[in-house]
Structure 1
Amino acid sequence: MPVVVARDLSVQLGGGTVLDRVHLTADPGQIVAVQGVNGCGKSTLLRCLSGLLRPGSGEVEVLGGPPSGDPAFWRQVGLLAEEPAWYPGLTVREHLALVALTHGVTTPVDRALADFELTARAAASPLALSAGQRQRLALAATMARPSRLLLLDEPEQKLDAGFRDRLAAMLRAYAHAGGTVVLATHDAALVAAMDATALWMRDGRLTRTGPVPA
């Protein structure tokens, strides 16, 4: 049974068509990578799949039902979109400990810090981190908890090439364990490294695998 199904999904914003009759499915163990230029509709699609934006027409099913704001839905779905609002009074370690406590994670926080190369900055405030370090912290907070689906909007941004390779390996392992990933990205190398199903979006429509025509 597919984890994500979008049928004939359309969105109008500001008088323009952002998504135009989009169809998409993602199965357990699959990574679906949606590529395309800025403004083509990738982020809007992820917002519809997460339930943060209601489409003008069409249907979305996630984990067998419509996406919702219920805690039960978000216990199964991890979303990385805009940078989170960090708590100034908490350190990097304390942010991840809070995630672990909230979601009943038994894996030690030290493991997440090591996996996302944040051990040396564990006692710092997120606001004192570099842009790349904050992106790794956001990824850690999203991925270091149980989920069945990850929705990731350009997770590679601000990451160096070495960590992009590491991220690809993490996402492959997540999918191999039965998780599903739908992500928007500009990084063709990341898509290849993840062995993802590559889709291209152009003018609000999912078209085909392969490069977007000039």
Structure 2
Amino acid sequence: MEAIVVRDLAVSYGSTAVLTGLDLTVPAGTGVCITGENGIGKSTLLRCVAGLQRPDEGEIEVFGGPPGAAPEFWRAVATTVEPPTWYPGLTVREHAELVCRAHGVHADDAGADEALERLGIGAQTDAIPASMSSGQKQRLTLALAFLRPSRLLILDEPEQRLDPEGRETVAALIAEYLADGGSLLMASHDDAFTAASGASGVGMPSLAAR
């Protein structure tokens, strides 16, 4: 089964066409990275595949069904396309525990502490996310995505706001996820990061001239 199939996708904002006639296939167990300049629809494509935005035309299938249509979709798909919700009063560790519990796993069994440590925020387990830097919040967002069980990751520029060491760590986590049979669709500007993650880069044609 294909993880993602996109056929003839079209999205416009007012009179401006952002995506036109876009086709994309992501075989199960593989990773695809969408590359290209800002403003050509990478995030829009990811939002549509994640079921967070309805396209004007075209069809999308995720594991054989429409995106966002059933609880099974959200059990299978983890995404960082939307900004995370930080719950007031909950610490970093408690956010990790909440995400794990919501997906039927214990934080210790999921390796929550190890994941936070690996992503460089092990010393912030008692911090409130709202008090953290943008880079630390990005690391926490990614940690939560990797901690919960999933079959597909949809990541929008996961390397943003990370230093070189952080990018290397996240690329390694993605590569391990793919090696374990997961599927990936992400957008990135960093060719070296894409290569290290094990994803295949696919350039999105610019629609600026249309």
TM over 0.5: yes
2:75 pairs with 1:75: yes
- Equivalent residue for 1:162, pick from 165, 169, 186: 165
Aligned partners of 1:156, 1:201: CA distance in 2, in Å? 19
In the alignment, residue 49 of structure 1 is paired with which amino acid? V
Residues 114-170 of structure 1, C-alpha deviations (whole Å, 9 max, x = no match)? 222211000000011111110000001111111000000111100111110111111
Aligned residue number for residue 150 of structure 2: 147
Secondary structure at 2:25 match in 1: strand
In the alignment, residue 19 of structure 1 is paired with which amino acid? L
Aligned residue number for residue 65 of structure 2: 65
Aligned residue number for residue 19 of structure 1: 19
Aligned runs of 1:9-48 on 2, under 5 Å? Answer: 9-48=9-48
Task: Give, in angstroms, the shift of residue 204 of structure 1.
Answer: 4.4
Aligned residue number for residue 4 of structure 2: 4
* 1:28/1:175 contact within 8 Å kept: no
Task: Give, in angstroms, the shift of residue 29 of structure 1.
Answer: 1.9
CA RMSD of aligned residues (A): 1.4
Secondary structure at 2:5 match in 1: strand
* Change over 3 Å in CA distance of 1:204–1:25 after alignment to 2: farther
Aligned runs of 1:69-108 on 2, under 5 Å? Answer: 69-105=69-105, 106-108=109-111
Residue range with higher mean Cα deviation, 191-200 or 170-179 = 191-200
Report how many aligned residue pairs link the two structures: 205
* 2:174/2:198 contact within 8 Å kept: no
Aligned partners of 1:45, 1:131: CA distance in 2, in Å? 24
Task: Give, in angstroms, the shift of residue 22 of structure 1.
Answer: 0.6
* 1:10/1:57 contact within 8 Å kept: yes
Task: Give, in angstroms, the shift of residue 69 of structure 1.
Answer: 4.4
- Equivalent residue for 1:128, pick from 131, 134, 148: 131
Aligned partners of 1:204, 1:96: CA distance in 2, in Å? 40
Secondary structure at 2:2 match in 1: coil
* 1:28/1:179 contact within 8 Å kept: yes
* 2:35/2:188 contact within 8 Å kept: yes
Aligned residue number for residue 199 of structure 1: 202
Residues 22-43 of structure 1, C-alpha deviations (whole Å, 9 max, x = no match)? 1101112211000111110000
Secondary structure at 2:204 match in 1: strand
Identity %: 49
In the alignment, residue 60 of structure 2 is paired with which amino acid? V
